[in-house]
Chain A
């Protein structure tokens, strides 16, 4: 395992990775539970440990706007936000991706108001799913650190050139102290070479970025952007593999547990994947054929891998830490259902809503969901397509 063992919370680990990535520009507005990232980075800049421009903006809208300009000027750029802050950035999210900037953002996943809540839901991560950003999910502090470093390399890869969000569960990861391995600065330099800008802003050779584009070209630009997102998948996998070889810590778009022979499975994002595997491990010791799939790469959605991993599975519980009002299922559920629909043999699916606003997902909840999944597999029938768990009924 390359690196030095130390202890950090998720926010500190992200800030440390950003410092090691030697970013040129940081424009961010503090918001719980991301605040420590911004505070720590401003300290690094203030005490000379990081030679970057720190822009203390008045809102998240401006934070991301400044990042877009800086990225187009050729800088390596970082920002961080959560929940309401991402909502305020929303229109710029689309612009940052369409202009093919390489902004990296840490998103400390937090529930959207109302009611006001500062704890974890995946509302904000899902809110960004259609905006053209690559989205990665960290499961623990080590992954938050590792994925932040990989995010810069992914975004800046000439075959990609898209901004990346690194999701880490608010408080559960942002504020929990965990052991992790951090790389030496020289190792980070080796893995992450300086950004090579493509068409950077140059006063001597002026060009227009993001002009008016009506019915005669808009759809061509969007078609091109769709292809860019699709094509990013190969480089993402390759960078995961390179980082795995470099550090000895395994990264891939999909993490599977017990899927070789699983008859029922759970699909889940973020920190709860550990709880799911903990329970699955116990159940498997008792002879239950259960498995867990968690996604490190959420956008672009790893359709082929998911189809492959779910071959032969009879029932899948798709776990969503958010809710999509009026939709046929919550967000991850709709993705998984769409990915499987044209498969000749596919498992039955049901959707589980859990953990909103920081409500714990306990091992007994997971065990109960696996029981439900076994019932679906046994009866071949989904009686309850959507179940809320951990809520007072």
Chain B
């Protein structure tokens, strides 16, 4: 959200007139723990990509991945399912 609107500026009836605007509603700041991707360990199995409930794992060319910190809520599933420990927990909170 670029600007926090007052109640006078909102459309009436609790509607969202622009469809699909949830992409502008960044939820990454819900995160307490931050997963970090270690490309040197990654075997490109895509287990993290499959399991991420958000999905905040982006699939890149040649099945490399990256973490979308705008939406990653830090649930840790990716770190947990990674068979080679390529996504360790690293540090606390905050934006990437």
Which candidate, A30-38, A184-192, A219-227, is the interface stretch facing chain B?
Answer: A219-227
Q: Counting CB contacts under 8 A, is A377 at the interface?
A: no
Q: By the criterion CB–CB under 8 Å, are B13 and A99 in contact?
A: yes
Contacts of B14 in A (CB 8 A): 98-100, 209-211, 213, 221
Closest CB in chain B relative to A131 CB, distance in Å: 15
Closest CB in chain A relative to B1 CB, distance in Å: 8
Q: Which of B10-30 contact A (CB under 8 A)?
A: 10-19
* Secondary structure class of chain B's binding surface, majority of residues: loop
Q: By the criterion CB–CB under 8 Å, are A161 and B5 in contact?
A: no
Residue in A217, A223, A224, A228 with the greatest tally of chain B CB atoms within 10 Å: A224
Q: Counting CB contacts under 8 A, is A206 at the interface?
A: yes
Q: Counting CB contacts under 8 A, is A114 at the interface?
A: no
Q: Which of A191-239 contact B (CB under 8 A)?
A: 198-199, 206-211, 213, 216-217, 220-221, 223-224, 227-228
Q: By the criterion CB–CB under 8 Å, are B12 and A208 in contact?
A: no
Given A216-B4, A220-B5, A220-B7, the answer on whether A228 and B16 have CB atoms closer than 8 Å is: no
Q: Counting CB contacts under 8 A, is B3 at the interface?
A: no
Q: Counting CB contacts under 8 A, is B40 at the interface?
A: no
How far, in whole Å, are A187 and B92 apart by their CA atoms in the complex?
70
Closest CB in chain B relative to A196 CB, distance in Å: 15
Q: By the criterion CB–CB under 8 Å, are A100 and B16 in contact?
A: no
Of all chain A residues, which has the CB nearest B6? A220
How far, in whole Å, are A206 and B18 apart by their CA atoms in the complex?
8
Q: By the criterion CB–CB under 8 Å, are A224 and B15 in contact?
A: no
**A224 touches which one: B1, B4, B10, B16 (CB < 8 A)?**
B10
Q: By the criterion CB–CB under 8 Å, are B19 and A224 in contact?
A: no
* Secondary structure class of chain A's binding surface, majority of residues: loop
Q: By the criterion CB–CB under 8 Å, are A209 and B19 in contact?
A: no
Given A99-B13, A213-B14, the answer on whether A223 and B19 have CB atoms closer than 8 Å is: no
Q: Counting CB contacts under 8 A, is B8 at the interface?
A: yes
Q: By the criterion CB–CB under 8 Å, are B19 and A207 in contact?
A: yes
Contacts of A98 in B (CB 8 A): 13-14
Q: By the criterion CB–CB under 8 Å, are B7 and A208 in contact?
A: no
Closest CB in chain A relative to B80 CB, distance in Å: 27
Contacts of B1 in A (CB 8 A): 216
Number of A positions contacting B (CB below 8 A): 21
Q: By the criterion CB–CB under 8 Å, are A224 and B5 in contact?
A: no
How far, in whole Å, are A210 and B11 apart by their CA atoms in the complex?
12
Closest CB in chain B relative to A345 CB, distance in Å: 35
Contacts of A228 in B (CB 8 A): 12
Q: By the criterion CB–CB under 8 Å, are A209 and B10 in contact?
A: no
Q: By the criterion CB–CB under 8 Å, are A224 and B17 in contact?
A: no
Contacts of A217 in B (CB 8 A): 5, 10
Q: By the criterion CB–CB under 8 Å, are A100 and B12 in contact?
A: yes
Contacts of A207 in B (CB 8 A): 15-19
Q: By the criterion CB–CB under 8 Å, are A211 and B16 in contact?
A: yes
How far, in whole Å, are A98 and B14 apart by their CA atoms in the complex?
7
How far, in whole Å, are A111 and B7 apart by their CA atoms in the complex?
38
**A206 touches which one: B4, B12, B19 (CB < 8 A)?**
B19
Contacts of B7 in A (CB 8 A): 220-221, 223-224, 227
How far, in whole Å, are A26 and B72 apart by their CA atoms in the complex?
45
Closest CB in chain B relative to A29 CB, distance in Å: 26
Contacts of B19 in A (CB 8 A): 206-208
Q: By the criterion CB–CB under 8 Å, are A209 and B8 in contact?
A: no
How far, in whole Å, are A220 and B6 apart by their CA atoms in the complex?
7
How far, in whole Å, are A100 and B12 apart by their CA atoms in the complex?
7
Closest CB in chain B relative to A338 CB, distance in Å: 24
Chain A 275-310 per-residue mask, 1 if CB under 8 angstroms from chain B, else 0: 000000000000000000000000000000000000
Closest CB in chain B relative to A147 CB, distance in Å: 25
Closest CB in chain B relative to A89 CB, distance in Å: 19
Residue in B4, B15, B18, B19 with the greatest tally of chain A CB atoms within 10 Å: B15
Contacts A98-B13, A99-B15, A100-B14 aside, 14 further interface pairs with beta carbons under 8 A come to A99-B14, A100-B12, A198-B13, A208-B19, A209-B13, A211-B14, A211-B16, A216-B1, A220-B10, A221-B7, A224-B7, A224-B8, A224-B10, A224-B12
Q: 10 tightest CB-CB pairs across the interface, nearest first?
A: A100-B13, A208-B16, A220-B7, A223-B7, A224-B7, A206-B19, A207-B17, A99-B13, A210-B14, A221-B14
A-B contacts, 10 of them at CB < 8 A, read A98-B14, A99-B13, A161-B12, A199-B17, A208-B16, A211-B14, A221-B10, A224-B8, A224-B12, A227-B7
